Structure 1
Amino acid sequence: MPGPTSDVQDVQEFEAHATDADLDELRARLAAARLPEAETVRGAAPGPRRWEQGVPLADLVDLVHYWRTAYDWRSFEARLNRIGQFRTTIDDLGIHFLHRRSARADATPLVLTHGWPDSVARFVDVVDELADPKDADAPAFHVVVPSLPGFGYSDRPTTTGWGTEKIAAAWVELMGRLGYHRFAAHGGDWGGNITTVLGGRFPAHVLGIHTTFAEGPPGLTTDGLTPVEREWVEETRRFWSHRAAYAKQQATRPQTIGYALVDSPVGLLAWILDKFAEWSDTGDSPFETMSRDRVLDDVTLYWLTRTGASAARIYYESHNALDPELRVDVPSAISAYPHDTEKCPRPWARERYRRIVRWSVAEAGGHFPSLEVPGYFVKDLREGLAAVLAAAR
């Protein structure tokens, strides 16, 4: 891939606008949905057992009704357009991204990378505060939020090869085109993996990283871990043993599940809602902490762009693909949230991230902290990046 340039002529403004016909068709499909019978644990008290067979029928029926009769996609479209949307072509693939320049002269370029089953919707509620904080003493950022290849308004790859290594290289090219030849990076889920690759492969361009999804090298021993860290290891083992069927499906047969995700809005909603529920720090419904509208913004974006299959393919491209020898020598800040799917013990993280300048364990939050606890997330991200930038000077 060619090195970064500053040729902003390669970047075009973009506006989201679904046709009325597309929205009418969505509502018609929702009205005509065929639903299964209720789960056989129906009647269980609120809590995890109520969800142990998947999304409960009553919850889905309520949400489908709201999606069809009251949800306002146009409001989210307008929000994206206000932030600022753009597209550029990298290695023959169109890449969509949000770009919010700070008014502050001392702002640092920052790329935020989402994962699955989310999208740029993961960050829309924090972009403005990161770019132009109310507190003049808080760091400010020129914020760039790309849509992963095959997600949202980015193009859907037609060939294999768009794994996390190539995506990280594309982000360096993207930031260079915007004039950001040195920048900081943050991510969670696949975004955390890509952020790790950015820090490890491109230290000449990456000032430092912040991630909520640290990954130590494989094969490390539990000797010397604290009881809490040992429990993290056991939780991760249980997750991959009993709760990761979605990942195996998408890593091995993304095309098969893709037909349902692109053809049925109710099927798409259930597939994604299941993860928002299971991976959030809640006692029962994900809407205890997350906005119902924001979850539907995310699902509707997948639906309107027909990216259920193409987004699933990131697992085919990159599942277990992080180079075990990759080491990150740029300053790194790592945050763990109590109900995330994986939490990396600090001794294990130190084996990959050689300059951890801040380590944080939140009291609340899960896999989607920018949606679940946005105020805390912004504060933690700022403090982490402040430590990173101080170490990078």
Structure 2
Amino acid sequence: MQPFRIEIPQADVEYLHDRLASARWPGELPCVEWARGVPLGYLKDLAGYWRTRYDWRAAEAQLNQHPQFISEIDGQRIHFLHVKSGQPGAKPLLITHGFPSSVAEFLHLIEPLVNPADGQAFHVVAPSLPGYAFSSPLSATGWALGRTALAWAELMRRLGYQRYGVHGGDIGAGVSGMVAGLDGEHVIGVHVVTDPLTAAATATFLPGMAGRLDGSDPVDKLILDRMDAFTKEGSGYLAIQSSRPQTIGYGLADSPLLQLAWIAEKVHEWTDLPVDRDQMLTTVSLYWFTGTGASAAHTLYEQAHSSDWGVPPAVPQGFAVFGADETVRKLVPAPDGAHWTEFSRGRHFPAMEAPAQLATDLQAFFGPLQ
């Protein structure tokens, strides 16, 4: 394992600013707002902020406050944060981001986990998924969830953690569940986050799910409507990345506007609490400076073409549902006795939307586990 610091050359920062200043903008039809993608006025304002007011060096310094390392696992370069707590009884916790995200999603979550005012403390390990940010370049095909989960188990072994918890959302939830299933001897529990729209979107990929729902039942009808809306209107980003990742990759690698719009659209659609604009732009900047929009897309392709979904975890399971409603209990396969917490606000990115609430729920779940 090699210590690592983020040090983006100033020439790369200036090149980004130059590209944003000379961007070519498309026209826009009247009155469509968000119905056909990111509105022109919204993206012009956000791009202008990214170019003239967002401070990459401050974000870089904030990330570099946390110890970072690089290790090669299964032929793949893996970047991770490893932030140890000084509090007695701290438990190792492996946390995994999803798409379109990065370890910057956890910037406001790490401190309350590592140094809580009271309650359970954690040693936090936060890897960048293979092909994302500094876990690049992507070394080979085949980096779906199962291979990533095996790499994470090996990472925790190398760090000397004999017993540890796992947590994640989106892709990170899938990876965490697989780690718990594959390395149950060492995992004390698995905690994941979800929300009604994510649960409904996931249900569209489950064979026979629509046939198991009764359209005359109000809750089932709401689920079916959400599944249909995701299929018709919300899955375009996933369809192209899971079928033609190389093609969309050229645009993501070459155009900062496309990379910005690609992520900003999902943050807008998948949140209902304010997200710090600078924190979001740190994730966008990580994709841009490392040129990993394409390789992140390739990992979505890998999972779409994989039949490996792991084995069900046999360890304690915890679920935090943000923006909860009556549909999620029907869609999330929580075993009897599982830890279950519902929050009325927040959605797909709770580590950015509601980090204090998420930290408290992680403490409540993992605190009693030995």
Preserved CA contact (<8 Å) 2:324 2:343? no
SS in 2 for 1:252: coil
Residue 51 (str. 1) matches residue 34 (str. 2): yes
Deviations 1:206-240 (A, max 9, x none): 111100147786435337x9854663454234223
In structure 1, runs of 5+ residues without a counterpart are 1-10, 43-49, 283-288
Judge conservation of contact 1:30–1:265 (CA < 8 Å) in 2: yes
Q: Secondary structure at the match of 1:89?
A: strand
The residue aligned with 2:244 is 253
Alignment CA distance shift 1:141-1:320 (3 Å): farther
Measure how far apart 1:315 and its partner are.
Answer: 1.1
> How far apart, CA to CA, are the structure 2 residues paired with 1:344 and 1:79?
38
Specify the code of the residue in structure 1 equivalent to 2:243: T
Q: Summarize the Cα distance change of 1:39–1:201 in structure 2 as closer, same or farther, 3 Å threshold.
A: farther
1:86 alignment partner, SS class? strand
Structure 2 residue 19 is the aligned partner of structure 1 residue 36: no
Contact in 2 for aligned 1:332/1:355 (Cα 8 Å): no
Q: Partner of 2:322 in structure 1? A: 337
Change (3 A) 1:109 1:252: same
Mapped partners of 2:355, 2:319: distance in 1: 17
- Does 2:343 align with 1:375? no
C-alpha change, 1:344 and 1:181, in structure 2 (3 Å) is: farther
Give the one of 243, 246, 253 matched to 1:262: 253
Q: Could you tell me which amino acid in structure 2 is paired with residue 304 of structure 1?
A: F
Determine if the alignment matches structure 1 residue 366 to structure 2 residue 347.
Answer: yes
Superposed, 1:208-357 pairs within 5 Å as 208-213=189-194, 218-219=207-208, 221-222=212-213, 227-228=218-219, 231-232=222-223, 234-281=225-272, 289-319=274-304, 321=306, 323=308, 326-338=311-323, 345-346=328-329, 348-350=331-333, 353-354=334-335, 356-357=337-338
For residues 382 and 230 of structure 1, the distance between their equivalents in structure 2, rounded to whole angstroms, comes to 35
The DSSP-based 3-state class of the residue aligned with 1:212 is strand
TM-score (norm 2): 0.91
SS at structure 1 position matched to 2:176: helix
Matched residue type, 2:135: S
Cα deviation for residue 320 of structure 1 reads: 7.0
Deviations, residues 330-358 of structure 1 (Å, cap 9, x unaligned): 10001222289xx97435534xx546521
Give the partner amino acid of 2:346: G
Letter of the aligned partner of 2:208 in structure 1? G
SS in structure 1 at match of 2:2: strand
2:112–2:356 Cα contact (<8 Å) kept:
no
CA contact (8 A) 1:38 1:57 kept: yes
Matched residue type, 1:238 = A
Q: CA deviation at 1:82?
A: 0.7
Contact 1:209-1:333 within 8 A present in 2 as well: yes
What residue number does 1:176 align with?
Answer: 157
Cα distance in 2 for residues equivalent to 1:166 and 1:72: 36
Q: Give the match's secondary structure for 1:30.
A: helix
For residue 356 of structure 2, what is the amino acid of its counterpart?
G
* Count of aligned pairs between the two proteins: 360
Partner of 1:117: 100
Aligned-pair distance for 1:15? 0.3
Does the C-alpha gap of structure 1 residues 236 and 210 become closer, same or farther in structure 2, counting only changes over 3 Å? Answer: farther
- CA 1:219–1:20 in 2, change beyond 3 Å: closer, same or farther? same
Could you tell me which runs of 5 or more consecutive residues in structure 2 were left unpaired when the two chains were aligned.
none
Q: Residue type matched to 1:337 in 2?
A: F
CA distance in 1, matches of 2:88, 2:259: 43
Q: 1:240 to 1:195 in 2, by over 3 A?
A: farther
Shift of 1:321: 4.1
Q: 1:325 to 1:173 in 2, by over 3 A?
A: closer
Partner residue of 1:75 out of 58, 66, 79: 58
CA distance in 2, matches of 1:226, 1:88: 51
Equivalent residue for 1:132, pick from 99, 106, 115: 115
CA distance in 2, matches of 1:339, 1:245: 25
Q: Which residue does 1:164 correspond to in 2?
A: 145
- When residues 96 and 105 of structure 1 are mapped into structure 2, their CA distance, relative to the original with a 3 A threshold, is same
Contact 1:39–1:57 (Cα < 8 Å) also in 2: no
Query: Does the CA-based 8 Å contact 1:160-1:317 persist in structure 2?
Result: yes
Among 14, 21, 41, the alignment partner of 1:24 is 14
Structure 1 residues 366 and 334: CA distance shift in structure 2, 3 A:
same
Name the Cα RMSD after superposition: 2.4
Instruction: Tell me: CA distance 1:87–1:226, structure 2 relative to 1, closer, same or farther (3 Å).
Output: farther
Q: How high is the sequence identity, in percent, across the aligned residues?
A: 41
Change (3 A) 1:240 1:379: farther
Q: Tell me, yes or no, if the aligned pair for 1:280 and 1:339 is still in contact at 8 Å.
A: no
**1:7 paired residue number:** none
Q: Distance in 2 between matches of 1:239 and 1:384?
A: 31
Q: d(CA) in 1 for partners of 2:122 and 2:143?
A: 28
Are 2:369 and 1:384 equivalent residues in the alignment? no
The two structures have a TM-score, normalised by structure 1, of 0.85
